[in-house]
Structure 1
């Protein structure tokens, strides 16, 4: 093993990658799979599921800042709190996918996904806050840590995306097996990260208004909100688009893997490029490439799987830049104005989840209104056209707004 490799292992950055993989496995794939799973298996309408998801995000408006406040005051109890909440995360996943609803499917969906995302928020806030202290003790600082962390997160998304599809050939209940496997890996990840929570954390909590008063922190939060919404849109509609617009049922898993694997592979490359030309120029290049990728989706129709596969690779690669560089920029700013990081990443978590809520509450009812039915053999053409416009044109418009915001933002390189 080389000296560089030994140094990286001694920094325990692989533990950060594994923990990030578990968090990502409880994040985006749940918004991709859960609505379709409950619509197909329990007959819950897309509009009802969207209403539940949006209601939970309104709850997050209060919950996430409170979790950030708690995080900054845990002290030595952080390790035990994280361990307990890690178990809650695994159990909530099992309840969501592996347990037949003992009560109304809508209520059960709301209860289990509340437990899942409350645990997800708490763990994410503590994880990224601890990263501020970690980055100060390693070579390469925030960008190097972000590359390890976000690469692990993206690989976790890849595994979570493809696992149910692969398990369909070996199990009658692929989502149940996935949920149980996820719970087991979550326990391993929590154990691997346990030594990290004893790291030094600043004692003075930061008021949330201090963060919101900071012009750069506020601008980065707004930029994250606008720039992440296209990913939320494409994630929410991905399964519907592949199954109905491309008429390619069974290809959802492989195409998702292509998308997120491209993001994972590109992540360290974007980090290296940002070290050479700066984060702002790198992000702008990635945003332009994203717009071009989404634009090529507009003319696609039944049978265009291979063209869409290429688009998945290029658009996925742009996500690698978003998920690596923006959190690193925000963490760098938090290190300057809020060393604890709990309140700051409470806001960051809220912004990330709000984009998914926005996508669900706008897109799913719109599809319902257009006459789209999940799993239907023959959706009307106007419903399929609505699906295409929502999947491709909306992200293009949002990316243009994100470019304008980024151009107007002076970043600390």
Structure 2
């Protein structure tokens, strides 16, 4: 039975507060704790690096835990179970009073990451199980992606409004607490809607008896699975490198001071608008080919942006909207394809480990985002690009321009190689359904 639009919206709505949380953790919380809370750059950098390493390693084990307990706790249950520690961690991190404490920040950051993982893997795997056929999975993952992007856009609007209309010396503190309050307000509203209006998560007859390491090994032995998570890693790298470099490119190279946040917001809004378009396109084409088209469009936009003249605000707006428009789909489509990979694995082994498989996608995308920062800073340092010097001398601006255009092109080419002739297509899916 096909899911109604109401059911899809109710299922996806926890994504709004969940993904509203992620942007502050990348952009606002680290400098807030380094400066306002007095912990310093080195300490905060170390804490967030260790936290991200823990987060990446813990994701597959969270997926394995869900499969071991799936007869007792449905995927919807994990969203609810993760919400309480997540809310407490948000309160402790966003509303802490100075001076800060490195141990306390580290502890609550780990709690937040673990709780977010449970909710995220639960949400995506539940959406996969609820969707009925090849195209409905694209629609379901698209609706979840729209919810996620809506949360991201919403939380970026809050500091922009505060900076525009509030005149106070404590604007950094007000900005952090306003975002934290918005997340804490949205979370119970979203969970209530989800609990009463979302379709019930499907029950499972018995928990998986396969050992955790054997499950990991079985997943990695699947060619379709390996190619998909590799592609998702490079999708994350496209986003990560461009996010890491946007301030240098916009404010130093293009000399558009104060416009980096605006262009980032426009790109995210364009992503939100682009998802329905690419869902429609995936119904006409294969999902993997639609993914290839999406990343190729981002590469073309990035190349165009890299050639812009300085102080070209309108062209910058056009390029970032063009870059952002397919990015939401590029992040959504691997999750729609993973639902088909789960079916393929179930046909071979007789066991459907949805949470385990989706936990790897959580890992690869976050790893891509994290590595994106490291790649851009490493290459910039290797080419001896110095931001302070570059504001006065444009001789090293070619380094940033080369990364803006070249990195997305290289990553898109790798994704194209991995996914254009992807073996798990619509015809293969129909054959699997006939066999099951």
Bucket of the pairwise TM-score, normalised by the shorter protein: 0.7 to 0.9
Partner of 1:121: 117
Q: Distance in 1 between matches of 2:402 and 2:104?
A: 32
Cα deviation 1:48-68 (Å, max 9, x = unaligned) = 655544433332343112111
Question: Aligned to 1:131, which of 127, 146, 169?
Answer: 127
Distance 1:139 1:328, change over 3 A: closer
Aligned counterpart, 2:52: 57
- What residue ranges of structure 1 are gaps of 5+ in the alignment? none
Task: Indicate the residue corresponding to 1:189 in structure 2.
Answer: 190
Counterpart of 1:320 in structure 2 is 328
1:166 corresponds to which residue?
A: 161
Q: Which residue of 2 aligns with 1:398?
A: 411
Between the two proteins, the alignment pairs up a number of residues equal to 403
CA RMSD in angstroms, aligned pairs only: 3.2
Alignment of 1:360-399 (within 5 A): 360-364=373-377, 370-372=385-387, 378=391, 381=394, 385-399=398-412
Distance in 2 of aligned mates of 1:352 and 1:404: 18
Match of 1:353 among 363, 366, 369: 366
1:168 alignment partner, SS class: helix
Equivalent position of 1:290 in the other structure: 298
Q: Find the partner of 2:312 among 304, 318, 328.
A: 304
Deviates more, 1:59-68 or 1:42-51: 42-51
Deviation at 1:108, TM superposition (A): 5.6
TM-score, reference length from structure 2: 0.81
In 2, the alpha carbon distance for the partners of 1:163 and 1:300 equals 30
Q: Indicate how the Cα distance of structure 1 residues 53 and 363 shifts in structure 2: closer, same or farther if over 3 A, else same.
A: farther
* Alpha-carbon distance between aligned partners in 2 of 1:270 and 1:276, rounded to the nearest angstrom: 10
Q: TM-score, normalised by structure 1?
A: 0.85
Gaps of 5+ in 2: 347-351, 427-436
1:162–1:256 contact (8 Å) kept in structure 2: no
The partner residue of 1:103 within 89, 93, 100 is: 100
Residues 290-328 of structure 1: CA distance to partner in whole angstroms, max 9, x if unpaired? 111111222346422221111111111121321232210
1:82 is matched with 79
SS of structure 1 residue aligned to 2:96: coil
1:216 Cα deviation from its structure 2 partner: 0.7
The structure number with the bigger radius of gyration is 2
CA–CA separation in structure 2 for the residues paired with 1:126 and 1:321: 20
- Structure 1 residues 113, 362: CA separation in 2 closer, same or farther (over 3 Å shift)? farther
Secondary structure class of the residue paired with 2:424: coil
Structure 2 counterpart of 1:31: 26
Distance in 1, matches of 2:254 and 2:31, equals: 17
2:432 maps to none
Pairing partner for 1:264 from 263, 267, 272 = 272
Look up the SS of the partner of 1:303 in the other structure. Answer: coil
